[in-house]
């Protein structure tokens, strides 16, 4: 009984239950606030606008999280008898010191806001930064993360992002050269290419009609026929792989030869 009474007495102290209440309320406020921010901001006329707004939501949510954390800490300190008014009065001096100590963090934050406002890129865009190409998977207050299609993630401090190439704001124009043997008649090949284009149109993500560009080159061992596909940047590689499969299947069906390097060996004969 004495143990139970001791536990109840301990839990009845305002320093204990008050701490639990403050933490619980802070978590509830943060979650409800984040959902409200998402509901208000994430709505746009097109995919790019929605991606941009989602990125803004991520940044605002980070700011909101730190604001809730700071306010909660002040309440907890007040709960334990700390004079928060005096603490607030000295906050200006502390802020100045922290400003000097956290110069890089402040630069990261300002750079992150600038990148969004100036449309550098948003979460979901495909970008190239210092020869590293990948998808922007996260934009935080301090860093931006870019993920390569092979899985590597490049983490960059926002203040160091001075120049990037954004290849997502416009659709990709994928041009594919189809190598074909010289002995194949052009009308037969172009008829097969028409079938290829009709199959490409069925690939998910294709927004515009693929087009036949004509003969692009006469190489040593083959004639190259070119086609053009307009598609979203983020899945152009998948669409290219599916297109190459379609080309091979239709060429096999139409018995059109795709040349490959061959070596002729001549045996010297005595005369």
pTM value surpassing 0.75? no
Query: In this model, does residue 221 exceed pLDDT 80?
Result: yes
Query: In this model, does residue 259 exceed pLDDT 70?
Result: yes
> 120-166 and 172-253: same fold?
no
Q: For 12-34, what is the mean pLDDT?
A: 77
Do the beta carbons of residue 258 and residue 180 sit within 8 Å? Answer: yes
Q: What is the pLDDT of residues 97-137, one digit of tens each?
A: 555 556 667 777 777 777 766 667 777 788 888 888 888 88
Alpha carbon distance 30, 65 (integer Å): 6
DSSP annotation of 119 reads T
Q: What is the pLDDT of residues 139-163, one digit of tens each?
A: 777 788 899 888 889 998 888 887 7
Q: For 216-233, what is the mean pLDDT?
A: 90
CA dihedral 199, 209, 43, 233 (to 10 degrees): 80
Query: In this model, does residue 63 exceed pLDDT 80?
Result: no
Q: For 55-78, what is the mean pLDDT?
A: 77
Fold of the domain spanning 172-253: Alpha-Beta Plaits (3.30.70)
List of long-range contacts for 56-63, beta carbons under 8 Å, 24+ apart: 56/116, 58/123, 58/138, 58/139, 58/140, 59/112, 59/113, 59/116, 59/139, 59/140, 59/141, 61/34, 61/37, 62/140, 62/141, 63/141
Q: For 170-178, what is the mean pLDDT?
A: 87
Architecture of domain 120-166: Roll (2.30)
Q: Tokens 């941009």, residue?
A: 52
Tell me what the pLDDT averaged over the chain comes to.
Answer: 78
Domain-wise residue ranges, the chain: 2-89, 120-166, 172-253
């Amino acid at each position: 009984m004495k143990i139970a009474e001791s536990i109840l007495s301990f839990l009845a102290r305002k320093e204990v239950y008050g701490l639990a209440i403050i933490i619980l309320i802070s978590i509830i406020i943060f979650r409800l606030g984040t959902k409200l921010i998402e509901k208000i901001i994430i709505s746009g006329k097109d995919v790019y606008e929605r991606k941009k707004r989602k990125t803004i939501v991520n940044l605002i949510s980070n700011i909101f999280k730190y604001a809730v954390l700071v306010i909660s800490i002040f309440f907890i300190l007040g709960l334990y008898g700390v004079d928060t008014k005096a603490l607030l009065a000295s906050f200006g001096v502390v802020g100045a010191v922290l400003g000097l100590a956290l110069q890089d963090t402040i630069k990261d934050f300002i750079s992150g806001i600038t990148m969004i406002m100036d449309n550098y890129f948003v979460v979901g865009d495909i970008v190239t930064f210092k020869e590293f190409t990948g998808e922007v998977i996260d934009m935080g207050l301090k860093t931006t993360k870019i993920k390569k299609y092979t899985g590597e993630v490049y983490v960059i401090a926002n203040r160091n992002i001075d120049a990037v190439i954004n290849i997502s704001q416009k659709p990709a124009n994928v041009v594919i050269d189809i190598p074909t043997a010289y002995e194949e008649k052009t009308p037969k090949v172009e008829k097969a290419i028409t079938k290829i284009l009709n199959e490409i149109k069925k690939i998910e993500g294709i927004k515009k009609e693929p087009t036949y560009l004509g003969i692009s080159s006469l190489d040593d061992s083959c004639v190259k026929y070119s086609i053009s596909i307009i598609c979203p940047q983020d899945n152009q590689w998948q669409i290219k792989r599916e297109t190459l499969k379609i080309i091979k299947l239709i060429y096999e069906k139409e018995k059109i030869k795709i040349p490959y390097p061959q070596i002729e060996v001549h045996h010297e004969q005595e005369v």
